[in-house]
């Protein structure tokens, strides 16, 4: 079984699992390297569950036992090691760094983990909402800011939840069932982002989540989920996948928006040119001497 099939199986059966099995499933989903390298007892200790829970999780997935659940992770690690060895052994070819390879795979994950129907549904939800609020904390704040900035070119009624002076809950308090909260987070998940999404959802506000796992607490809260990979060999998680997802989502919004989006883009460009927002002095000089 390819490792991706194991993750798909975990995602599909997660809702039917007990809370204890869900805890184990989250760990398995988010720690493929540790799963492939550690024993059942070590993996259970890392996940914070009893060793028997790992066996019961495998059985709940329709597998023979922990070793059957572990084999896809071992195979994935072996393929990765073999590929790295081949790159290093190739004469005359500069090897791609581990970080560059991870970034490339993270970008590719956007197409693998989200189909056209999902992206179009998310885009239509953004276009149909009365107001759209964008939320992301810590490393994800830049992504939320980019989403809001881009979306504001395409439609009116957007806001960035900044939580300045601790007023994040106030910024979300005015959202209703006619609005949309777009929340971004990846492991380790921001408590504030998850809690804000949960509170909004409890008040009937639809939530669109951009996250790295269908088992993440943010995904379990959202009505629409778009996924990306964030793997990285460095200390920091990679933001390449979520940035690619943000750009594809906004491109889809632009495509689905029709004439209203075209008009707003034209009006925005004309205003920025009139306000001389962008540096164009060399061009004006050339026109003057022409």
CB 201 within 8 A of CB 221: yes
Do residue 145 and residue 214 come from a single domain?
A: yes
Q: What SS3 state is found at 92?
A: coil
β-sheet with 207-211: strand ranges across: 158-161, 132-136, 180-185, 207-211, 224-227
- Tell me if 126 is assigned to some domain: yes
Do residue 90 and residue 112 come from a single domain?
A: no
- Tell me if 289 is assigned to some domain: no
Do residue 87 and residue 140 come from a single domain?
A: no
Count of structural domains, the chain:
2
- Tell me if 222 is assigned to some domain: yes
CATH of the domain at 41: 1.10.10.10
Output the DSSP codes for the chain. --HHHHHHHHHHHGGGS-HHHHHHHHHHHH-HHHHHHS-HHHHHHHHTS-HHHHHHHHHHTT-SSHHHHHHHHHHHHHHHHHHHHHHHH-TTSPPPPHHHHHHHHHHHHHHHH--HHHHHHHHHHHHH-S-EEEEE-GGGHHHHHHHHHHHHHH-S-EEEE--GGG-HHHHHHT--TTSEEEEEE-SSPPHHHHHHHHHHHHTT--EEEEES-TTSHHHHH-SEEEE-----SSSSPP-HHHHHHHHHHHHHHHHHHHHHHHHHHHHHHHHHHHTT-S--HHHHHHHHH-
> What are the Cα distances from residue 108, in Å, to 14, 139, 224, 230, 238?
25, 21, 20, 11, 13
- Tell me if 140 is assigned to some domain: yes
Do residue 198 and residue 77 come from a single domain?
A: no
Do residue 45 and residue 136 come from a single domain?
A: no
Query: What's the confidence (pLDDT) of residue 93?
Result: 42
Residue at a domain's end among 95, 130, 162: 95
Query: What's the confidence (pLDDT) of residue 2?
Result: 74
- From first to last of the 290 residues of the chain, give the pLDDT tens digit: 677 788 888 888 898 999 999 999 999 988 888 888 778 888 898 899 999 999 999 999 998 888 888 888 877 776 665 555 555 544 544 445 777 877 888 888 888 888 888 999 999 999 999 999 999 999 999 999 999 999 999 999 999 998 765 656 777 888 999 999 999 999 888 999 999 999 999 999 999 999 988 888 899 899 999 999 888 777 778 899 999 999 999 999 998 988 888 888 888 888 888 888 878 765 555 555 44
- Tell me if 16 is assigned to some domain: yes
- Tell me if 147 is assigned to some domain: yes
CA distance 76 to 71: 9
CA distance 18 to 216: 16
Query: What's the confidence (pLDDT) of residue 90?
Result: 47
Do residue 218 and residue 118 come from a single domain?
A: yes
Give the domain extent around 42. 3-95
Q: Provide the whole-model pTM.
A: 0.67
Regarding beta strands 180-185 and 207-211, do their DSSP bridges make them parallel or antiparallel, or are they unpaired? parallel
C-alpha closest to that of 201 among 228, 226, 183, 227: 183
- Tell me if 12 is assigned to some domain: yes
Do residue 138 and residue 255 come from a single domain?
A: yes
CA distance 96 to 110: 21
CATH of the domain at 167: 3.40.50.10490
CA distance 88 to 82: 10
CB 223 within 8 A of CB 208: yes
Q: What residues does 209 pair with on adjacent strands?
A: 183, 225
Do residue 74 and residue 141 come from a single domain?
A: no
Do residue 247 and residue 141 come from a single domain?
A: yes
Largest distance between two CA atoms of the chain: 81
Query: What's the confidence (pLDDT) of residue 81?
Result: 56
- Tell me if 279 is assigned to some domain: no
Do residue 110 and residue 232 come from a single domain?
A: yes
Do residue 110 and residue 137 come from a single domain?
A: yes
Do residue 251 and residue 181 come from a single domain?
A: yes
Residue at a domain's end among 60, 95, 130: 95
């Amino acid at each position: 079984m390819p490792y991706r099939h194991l993750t798909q199986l975990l995602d599909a059966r997660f809702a039917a699992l007990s809370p204890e099995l869900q805890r184990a499933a989250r760990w398995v989903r988010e720690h493929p390297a540790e799963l492939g390298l550690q024993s059942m007892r070590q993996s259970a200790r890392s996940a914070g569950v009893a060793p028997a829970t790992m066996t019961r999780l495998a059985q709940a997935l329709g597998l023979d036992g922990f070793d059957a659940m572990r084999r896809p992770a071992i195979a994935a690690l072996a393929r990765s090691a073999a590929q790295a060895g081949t790159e290093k052994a190739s004469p005359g070819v500069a090897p791609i760094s581990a970080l560059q390879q991870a970034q490339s795979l993270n970008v590719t994950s956007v197409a693998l983990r989200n189909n056209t129907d999902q992206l179009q549904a998310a885009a239509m939800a953004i276009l149909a909402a009365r107001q759209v609020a964008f939320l992301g904390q810590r490393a994800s704040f830049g992504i939320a800011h980019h989403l809001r900035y881009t979306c504001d070119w395409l439609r009116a009624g957007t806001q960035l939840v900044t939580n300045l002076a601790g007023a994040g809950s106030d910024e979300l308090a005015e959202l209703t069932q006619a609005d949309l909260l777009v929340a971004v987070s990846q492991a380790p998940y921001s408590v504030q982002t998850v809690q804000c999404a949960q509170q909004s959802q409890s008040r009937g506000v639809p939530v669109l989540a951009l996250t790295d796992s269908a088992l993440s607490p943010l995904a379990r809260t959202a009505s629409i989920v778009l996924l990306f990979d964030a793997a990285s060999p460095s200390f920091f998680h990679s933001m390449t996948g979520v940035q690619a997802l943000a750009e594809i989502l906004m491109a889809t919004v632009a495509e689905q928006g029709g004439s209203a989006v075209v008009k707003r883009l034209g009006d925005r460009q004309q205003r920025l040119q009139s306000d001389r927002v962008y540096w164009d002095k060399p061009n004006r000089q050339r026109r003057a001497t022409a």
